[in-house]
Amino acid sequence: MNERFNKMFRSGLFFFVAAVLLLWAKTYLTLKYSFSLDIENTMQEIILILTPLGSILFFLGLSFLFSKKRRVKAFLTLYFIMSFVLFANAVYYRFFSDFITIPVLMQYKNFLELGGSAKELMGFTDLLLWVDFIALVVWAKIQKNHLVLALKKRTVTAIFATALLSMTINLSLAEAERPELLTRTFDRAMLVKLLGIYNFHVYDGVMTAKTQTHRAFAESSELSEVQHYTNAEKGKSDKYFGAAEGKNVVLVSMESLQNFVIDYKLNGQEVTPFLNDLVKDENSLYFSNFYHNTGQGKTSDSEFIVDNSLYGLPRGAVFTTNSGNEYNATPEILGEKGYTSAVFHGNNDSFWNRDVMYKSLGYDHFFSEKDYNVTPENSVNYGLKDIPFFEQSIPKIKNLEEPYYTRFITLTHHYPFVLNDKEDIMIEPANTGDGTVDRYFQTARYMDEALKQFFQDMKEAGEYKDTIFVFYGDHYGISTNHNKAMSKIMGEEIRPFEEKQLQQVPLIIHAPGLDGKEMKTVGSQIDLKPTILHLLGVETPNDVQFGTDLLAEDRKDIAIFRDGSVITDEYVYAGKENICYDKQTEKEIKTSVCKPLKEKAQKELSLSDKVVYGDLLRFLDENAKAIEQQSAEK
């Protein structure tokens, strides 16, 4: 009996099958319990169970391409890589509610600086994802002189045949559940649910390679198609056109600030007292139905959208994947009008590839971490705290030649929302039992105080009078993974309807003499470029802008999200869930009502992607000359 067991224990086939079963079980359980994949029916559950098998057999089977001497090491290396893919996605998903893509991996420099965020994301249970791998390594060590992955050719052939059959069945079932899955989906969760985590990464690799070829084959006629669409969407400017002509512009990117905190009280205390006063100021325009459009690029996406009126990409961040493109960003446009442009940010200049991308956008100056006095005492989490950041920025902005166009990027109100110094804590945490949500209000309160001091310092420095301030939230701070805690904060269940509403971020435009009021038009970050330019009295007739002036008389009330969701003044379309809501009654209605919104979102996002992937703006001058020539001939 013992001899039979030892023989089986040393068998390469037994080792291979045991490893496949372990990884299969681990992958299924991780997909089931670490990700919110929303299994809708029995068939989807069956697909979820099936998805890992084909890719596991195929990738682990690649070890048989190596010599017998190196085969076990190759096998364990492949097993480790697949385990790491699972582990990395599980950790990444906890905060971003998304899956890692190749363009995201190109942002590896960012991960080296995650610091406290990375530690917060990982937990003790993550060690369970490595128990099987450790067991296999120990197994291989014990049987070092006996374990040989030597299988007959027909057995290896059977392994690959089973892998192919499994993947074919998987794809067939997936297509039956979601027709045109590989060509029309905006939802990575749907791909993972129906194709599996490993096949998703194969698909992502193919799509990355495909998008890299777009630029080589792009033609100027494609830009003309985009211009025809964007020109048709433009609205007429109203009385605010030129209201801030010649003024300096100061944009403040408010990290992770969602609009629900405006006028929100926690234990009787205002979370954002300064911003609450600012929205009511007679010189402030407060946009109470304003949304972010960001995707995986988060803050860098918001910067890109605000400066270009183009959407971020469906995968990765434009800042890292397409920094070499030709753009027609606001800094470049205003540079031709005599403006000096600059960005202020107390973090490493290479984070999000900013040191490269800002040059492509036309910025004259970039004040980063090396330009500030950063010490352990005045830093937390990602870097320089907001109050010293703004204090140290005042002399730098005073030295800029006027008029100037500037952006300040805050840092302290960033996940995991921590404050180490007692003097920085100005409000007690919430009491939901979710540390992320509970701490969120404390760092929001700190940032609000930093904004207040910055505003006062700008006045004392003589920089307030001739400046228009644009305060905007860059992206959500609390992901859908925290909906249970957020339901306690909001006092209601967080359905897809409420989840979309929580994507509101504050937008306050303030300038001395500006006729202020609350603006209820539905808009988003994509609309900021034309709004700012029109306030400055700058026309851009031939530019490609998917947004419309938020102050235009006849603008359409609409906000399109990167995942294909849409919000208007009448409806809320949840793209991932394919659910349509009546905005007034907050009730679900027939999906067909939102079909035109869905089609518009898909059209607009695909055209914007075409601009970025094809680097179409390099043809802008060429097309502009052609248009001028046609006008002259008429």
What is the per-residue pLDDT across 148-163, written as a single tens digit (0 to 9) for each?
777 888 989 999 999 9
pLDDT > 80? residue 147: no
Q: At what angle do helices 68-96 and 42-61 cross, to 10 degrees?
A: 140
What is the per-residue pLDDT across 376-416, written as a single tens digit (0 to 9) for each?
999 998 889 999 999 999 999 999 999 999 999 999 999 88
Q: Grade residue 277 by pLDDT with cuts at 50, 70 and 90.
A: very high
What domains sit in the chain, N to C, each tagged with a CATH number?
2-212 (no CATH), 239-557 (3.40.720.10)
Q: Grade residue 141 by pLDDT with cuts at 50, 70 and 90.
A: confident
Q: What is the per-residue DSSP string for 202-246?
A: HHHHHHHHHHHTHHHH--HHHHHHHHHHHHHH-----TTTTTTTT
User: Which residues contact residue 122 at a Cβ distance below 8 angstroms, ignoring those fewer than 6 apart?
Assistant: 91
Classify residue 375 by burial, with Cβ atoms within 10 Å: 0-12, 13-18, 19+. Answer: exposed
In sign, the C-alpha dihedral spanning 190, 194, 198, 200 is negative
Q: Model pTM greater than 0.85?
A: no
Please give the average per-residue pLDDT across 122-132, as a whole number: 84
Q: What residue has token string 């409420």?
A: 498
Specify whether the CB–CB gap between 319 and 409 falls below 8 A: no
Local structure of 283: helix, strand or coil: coil
Q: What percent of the chain shows pLDDT beyond 70? A: 91
Q: Grade residue 541 by pLDDT with cuts at 50, 70 and 90.
A: confident
From residue 28, alpha-carbon distances to 34, 80, 412, 557 in Å are 10, 17, 37, 43
Predicted local distance difference test score (pLDDT) of residue 300: 94
Lowest mean pLDDT among 141-150, 268-277, 302-311, 459-468: 141-150
Predicted local distance difference test score (pLDDT) of residue 9: 52
Give bridge partners of residue 580 from the DSSP assignment: 573, 589
Q: How many whole angstroms separate alpha carbon 357 and alpha carbon 363?
A: 9
Predicted local distance difference test score (pLDDT) of residue 554: 84
What is the per-residue pLDDT across 293-307, written as a single tens digit (0 to 9) for each?
999 889 999 999 999
Q: Could you tell me whether strands 523-524 and 290-291 are parallel, antiparallel, or unpaired per DSSP bridges?
A: parallel
Q: Grade residue 1 by pLDDT with cuts at 50, 70 and 90.
A: very low
What is the per-residue pLDDT across 511-526, written as a single tens digit (0 to 9) for each?
999 999 999 999 999 9
Q: How many whole angstroms separate alpha carbon 257 and alpha carbon 444?
A: 7
Q: Grade residue 171 by pLDDT with cuts at 50, 70 and 90.
A: very high
**What DSSP element (H or E) covers 440?**
helix 435-460
Q: Give phi and psi for 108, each to the nearest 5.
A: -55, -30
pLDDT > 60? residue 186: no
What is the per-residue pLDDT across 56-73, written as a single tens digit (0 to 9) for each?
999 999 999 998 888 899
pLDDT > 90? residue 120: no
Q: How many whole angstroms separate alpha carbon 291 and alpha carbon 312?
A: 14
482 versus 554: which is more confidently predicted? 482
What is the per-residue pLDDT across 315-360, written as a single tens digit (0 to 9) for each?
888 988 888 899 999 999 999 999 999 999 998 887 888 988 999 9
pLDDT > 70? residue 185: no
pLDDT > 60? residue 115: no
Cα R_g (the chain), whole angstroms: 27
Q: Which two tokens stand for residue 52?
A: 């890992």
Predicted local distance difference test score (pLDDT) of residue 75: 94
Q: Which two tokens stand for residue 51?
A: 């998805």
27 catalytic? Reply is no
Q: What residue has token string 């006063």?
A: 277
Q: How many whole angstroms separate alpha carbon 118 and alpha carbon 82?
A: 20
Predicted local distance difference test score (pLDDT) of residue 383: 86
User: Which residues contact residue 125 at a Cβ distance below 8 angstroms, ignoring those fewer than 6 apart?
Assistant: none
Q: Which two tokens stand for residue 304?
A: 């890109």
Set 230, 299, 443, 548: catalytic member: 299
Q: What are the helix (H) ranges across 112-219?
A: 116-121, 131-142, 153-177, 181-184, 188-195, 197-212, 214-217
Local structure of 170: helix, strand or coil: helix
Question: Residue 404: left (phi > 0), alpha (psi -120 to 50), or beta?
Answer: beta
Q: How many whole angstroms separate alpha carbon 528 and alpha carbon 524?
A: 7
What is the per-residue pLDDT across 226-247, written as a single tens digit (0 to 9) for each?
999 998 877 666 789 999 999 9
pLDDT > 70? residue 2: no
146 versus 303: which is more confidently predicted? 303
Specify whether the CB–CB gap between 467 and 403 falls below 8 A: no
Please give the average per-residue pLDDT across 600-611, as a whole number: 96
Predicted local distance difference test score (pLDDT) of residue 83: 95
Predicted local distance difference test score (pLDDT) of residue 469: 98
Predicted local distance difference test score (pLDDT) of residue 316: 81
Q: Give phi and psi for 179, each to the nearest 5.
A: -55, 145
Q: Grade residue 117 by pLDDT with cuts at 50, 70 and 90.
A: low
Q: Grade residue 106 by pLDDT with cuts at 50, 70 and 90.
A: low
Predicted local distance difference test score (pLDDT) of residue 384: 95
Query: Average per-residue pLDDT in the chain?
Result: 90
User: Which residues contact residue 415 at a Cβ distance below 8 angstroms, ignoring those fewer than 6 apart?
Assistant: 95, 117, 120, 256, 436, 477
Closest CA to 347 of 385, 377, 400: 385
Please give the average per-residue pLDDT across 369-374, as a whole number: 94
User: Which residues contact residue 533 at a Cβ distance below 8 angstroms, ignoring those fewer than 6 apart?
Assistant: 330, 333, 334, 539, 540
